[in-house]
Amino acid sequence: MMNLVIDVGNSLVKLAVFDGDALLYKKTIKSSFIVKHIDLLRKEYAPIKQVIVSSVGKLKTSDLSYIQDHFELIKLDSISKLPFKNSYKTPKTLGLDRIALVSASIQQYPYNNVLIIDAGTCITYDFVTNDNEYLGGAISPGVQMRYQSLHNLTANLPLLNPEVPENILGSSTNDCMHSGVVFGVIKEIDGVIEEYKEKYKDLTVILTGGDANFLSKQLKSSIFANSNFLLEGLNFILQINSNE
């Protein structure tokens, strides 16, 4: 069955078409083009019957109405049927992206201790036990946020694009910033993984998010990098909430 997955961000929207578990298509577009693009997908991937939308509140009313008029719509929220036991103390504040990532881990690594690291605007850490219980994790500033903070909160530091430094010892201001940000993130991630491994011996680590490729080669820990993990998790949630 063809499913459409829509992940709505602040200004960009990720669209993905799945046939069962197989990802056929994905694209990131500006939110203003969402109806036009979905209309094209309706023709190219007919028949898409079901759609899941993450972050419904960020859609314009007219866009949401269009989706509801043409598809069976599932809205992801804190009361959606999920494939794991949620032991987070404030489940209503748990980000929808983190819910999707945890769901993907249950589908692809069932009954494993899994640490999911999403390296995006923020770096989120989410842990699921081998009995499919979600316990929580951590949130820290992402790579770009750290560069922006150095620039915005100081008088003289420039705004730099991420760059892997050759040496931890920076010999210029730019080199020092790259060393502080990039090595800081890498050491943080490796350190978090080691902490979890001390407590959970059989640990699977997933790295995803926009900076996953940038960071993955620098990490000393053994990881699985998957840039589609969030979309796959949303598709899995759609499947278990489906009326068919």
Please give the pLDDT value at position 172.
96
Q: Do domains 2-75 and 85-233 have the same CATH topology?
A: yes
Q: What pTM did the predictor assign?
A: 0.93
Please give the pLDDT value at position 108.
97
Please give the pLDDT value at position 244.
57
98 is in an annotated binding site: yes
88 is in an annotated binding site: yes
Architecture of the domain whose range is 85-233: 2-Layer Sandwich (3.30)
In the 8-state DSSP scheme, what is residue 121?
Answer: S
pLDDT means per 10 residues, the chain with 244 residues, are 91 93 96 94 91 89 94 91 96 94 97 96 96 97 97 96 94 97 97 96 94 92 93 97 75
> Strand order in 48-54's β-sheet?
22-30, 12-19, 2-8, 48-54, 72-75
Q: Containing H/E element for 78?
A: none
Please give the pLDDT value at position 201.
84
**Catalytic residue chosen out of the listed positions 19, 69, 77, 97:** 97
Residue for token pair 């939110």: 31
40 is in an annotated binding site: no
196 is in an annotated binding site: no
CATH code for the domain defined by 2-75: 3.30.420.40
Summarize the chain as % helix, strand, coil (round to 5).
40, 30, 30
43-93 pLDDT, tens per residue?
A: 999 889 999 999 877 889 999 999 999 999 999 988 899 999 999 999 999
Domain boundaries, the chain: 2-75, 85-233
Please give the pLDDT value at position 208.
96
Tell me the pairing of strands 113-119 and 122-128.
antiparallel
63 is catalytic: no
Q: What are phi and psi of 183, to 5 degrees?
A: -65, -30
**100-117 burial code (b ≥16 CB/10 A, e <16):** bbbbbbbbbbeebbbbbb
173 is in an annotated binding site: yes
Residue 234 · residue 7 · CB < 8 Å = yes
53 is in an annotated binding site: no
102-115 pLDDT, tens per residue?
A: 999 999 999 999 99
